[in-house]
């Protein structure tokens, strides 16, 4: 990890420095944990007290953050993006340099300039790896797979036949792309497998979390749009069309042949049925179950998913059920008592 002076950081981050430019910064940390030699940030002036009590060597703050005596400040327009840029500067290098002698590479595979290939990697026939990409230990790059430039393919990733991965993609450990889609039909007395002859296309700048699986299409392609980010343990079924900049949080499962528009967000454990169309900008709350189309811009929750405001009202109503049940039972007792009194009056002889 490289150390920087505050002067160097101010230049790299486009910040205005209030403090000693020669102060050495050795790393980054959260505001509440930062100590000597560390850089942190405060997103707004509501963190002023934490800044004043922080042991950090320097704090990235907004341009209008109040002056703070005794603290070195790096003033920027947007503190969080600046801090992320600083994190990238301090990120440890994870280089894979050259081709490890235990790697197995087909004679007709195309390996771009500056590619790093780690131990026990297999690059099969017809595969192509773009310049500057890193293929980490134990990965499998199948027949006719293409990996773009500047990609980071994690340990034990499997890219099956004909998969296409764009530029600057990050695939975390254990990702499987292009395994067979889940397709069968009932043939008299058994499930007969349907050949899965399509492929998967992953566009540029996609990041896919550990142990996520994306199935090849039965025919045609399964496509993941540019800039989409998937968490760990996501399942994308065959022939799905995932739009640009989609967010899928852990344990989301999408059945086959559904379409997600640009900027869709699905929170943890959301389930999406097959042949569903979800419009641009839709947000789906955690553990939501989607079995019908959703119009663009909707916020939904629940299973089956419904407009979020309605679902919250229904949840609030359910929370009142014990009280309502007690009230109902009391009313029933009062009604029974009233009936008994009326019956007694009716049975009483007239004077």
162 and 122 in a common domain: yes
110 and 76 in a common domain: no
Q: What is the pTM of this model?
A: 0.84
Q: Tokens 């907004």 sit at which residue?
A: 62
The per-residue pLDDT for 1 is 58
**Between the CA of residue 16 and those of 22, 27, 73, what are the distances in Å?**
14, 19, 8
The question of whether 190 is a catalytic residue gets the answer: no
Decide which of 55, 90, 125 is a domain's last residue.
90
CATH of the domain at 167: 2.160.10.10
CA-nearest of 77, 34, 82 to 58 is 34
Whether 247 is in a domain gets the answer: yes
CA-nearest of 35, 106, 44, 46 to 77 is 44
Q: How far apart are CA 44 and CA 25, in angstroms?
A: 22
What pLDDT band is residue 96 in, cutting at 50, 70 and 90? confident
> 284 pLDDT exceeds 90?
yes
On average, the pLDDT of the chain sits at: 94
CB atoms within 10 A of CB 249: 20
CB 62 within 8 A of CB 77: yes
User: Of all helices (H) and strands (E), which one includes residue 318?
Assistant: helix 308-319
Decide which of 90, 120, 153 is a domain's last residue.
90
The per-residue pLDDT for 345 is 84
H and E: helices and strands count for the chain: 5, 39
Whether 55 is in a domain gets the answer: yes
CA-nearest of 197, 186, 269 to 238 is 197
Residue 99 burial by Cβ neighbours in a 10 Å radius (0-12, 13-18, 19+): middle
258 and 119 in a common domain: yes
Tell me what percent of the residues of the chain surpass a pLDDT of 90.
86
Whether 98 is in a domain gets the answer: no
124 and 74 in a common domain: no
The per-residue pLDDT for 28 is 95
124 and 53 in a common domain: no
Q: Tokens 């990996």 sit at which residue?
A: 147
What pLDDT band is residue 251 in, cutting at 50, 70 and 90? very high
Q: Averaged over 176-198, what is the pLDDT? A: 96
Q: Averaged over 201-213, what is the pLDDT? A: 98
Q: How far apart are CA 133 and CA 109, in angstroms?
A: 14
The CA dihedral of 287, 179, 153, 260, to the nearest 10 degrees, is -40
266 and 292 in a common domain: yes
256 and 120 in a common domain: yes
Q: Averaged over 235-243, what is the pLDDT? A: 98
Q: Which of 172, 192, 238, 245 is catalytic?
A: 238
Angle (CA) 181-207-210 rounded to 5° is 65
CATH of the domain at 41: 3.40.1390.10
The per-residue pLDDT for 351 is 59
The per-residue pLDDT for 18 is 94
Average the pLDDT over each of 1-5, 81-85, 138-142, 335-339 and give the range with the smallest value: 1-5
158 and 235 in a common domain: yes
214 and 111 in a common domain: yes
Whether 135 is in a domain gets the answer: yes
User: Of all helices (H) and strands (E), which one includes residue 8?
Assistant: helix 6-13
Whether 96 is in a domain gets the answer: no
Domain range holding 147? 104-309
Angle (CA) 166-171-173 rounded to 5° is 160
Whether 331 is in a domain gets the answer: yes
CA-nearest of 213, 208, 225, 100 to 154 is 208
> 328 pLDDT exceeds 70?
yes
330 and 240 in a common domain: no
3-state secondary structure of 108: coil
303 and 277 in a common domain: yes
Q: Averaged over 299-309, what is the pLDDT? A: 91
Whether 99 is in a domain gets the answer: no
What pLDDT band is residue 246 in, cutting at 50, 70 and 90? very high
Q: Averaged over 197-215, what is the pLDDT? A: 98
Whether 315 is in a domain gets the answer: no
Q: Averaged over 135-146, what is the pLDDT? A: 98
336 and 279 in a common domain: no
Decide which of 58, 90, 122 is a domain's last residue.
90
The CA dihedral of 99, 101, 106, 110, to the nearest 10 degrees, is 10
What pLDDT band is residue 343 in, cutting at 50, 70 and 90? confident
Q: Averaged over 12-41, what is the pLDDT? A: 94
The per-residue pLDDT for 350 is 62
Tally of domains within the chain? 3
CB atoms within 10 A of CB 13: 21
């Amino acid at each position: 990890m490289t150390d920087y002076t505050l002067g160097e950081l101010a230049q790299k981050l486009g910040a205005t420095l209030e403090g000693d430019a020669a102060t050495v910064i050795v790393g980054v940390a959260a505001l509440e944990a930062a100590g000597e030699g560390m850089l942190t940030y405060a997103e707004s002036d509501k963190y002023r007290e934490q800044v004043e009590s922080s042991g950090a060597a320097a704090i990235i703050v907004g341009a209008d953050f109040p002056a703070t005596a005794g603290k070195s400040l790096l003033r920027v327009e947007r503190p969080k993006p600046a801090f992320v840029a600083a994190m990238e500067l301090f990120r440890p290098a994870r280089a894979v340099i050259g081709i490890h002698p235990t790697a197995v590479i087909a004679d007709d595979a195309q390996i771009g300039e500056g590619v790093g290939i780690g131990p026990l990697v297999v690059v099969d026939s017809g595969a192509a790896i773009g310049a500057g990409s890193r293929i980490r230990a134990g990965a499998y790059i199948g027949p006719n797979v293409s990996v773009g430039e500047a990609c980071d393919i994690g340990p034990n990733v499997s890219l099956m036949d004909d998969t296409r991965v764009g530029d600057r993609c990050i695939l975390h450990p254990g990702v499987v792309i292009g395994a067979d889609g889940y397709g069968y039909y009932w043939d008299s007395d058994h499930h007969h497998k349907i050949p899965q002859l399509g492929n998967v296309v992953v566009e540029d700048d996609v990041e896919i979390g550990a142990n996520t699986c994306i199935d090849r299409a039965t025919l045609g392609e399964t496509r993941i749009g540019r800039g989409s980010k998937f968490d760990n343990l996501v399942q994308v079924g065959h022939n799905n069309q995932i739009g640009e900049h989609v967010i899928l949080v852990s344990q989301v499962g999408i059945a086959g042949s559904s379409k997600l528009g640009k900027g869709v967000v699905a929170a943890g454990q959301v389930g999406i049925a097959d042949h569903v169309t979800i419009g641009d900008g839709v947000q789906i709350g955690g553990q939501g179950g989607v079995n019908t189309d959703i119009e663009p811009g909707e916020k939904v929750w629940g299973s089956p998913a419904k407009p979020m405001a309605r679902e919250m009202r229904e949840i609030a109503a359910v929370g009142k059920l014990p009280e309502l049940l007690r009230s109902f039972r009391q009313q029933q007792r009062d009604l029974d008592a009233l009936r008994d009194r009326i019956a007694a009056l009716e049975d009483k002889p007239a004077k």
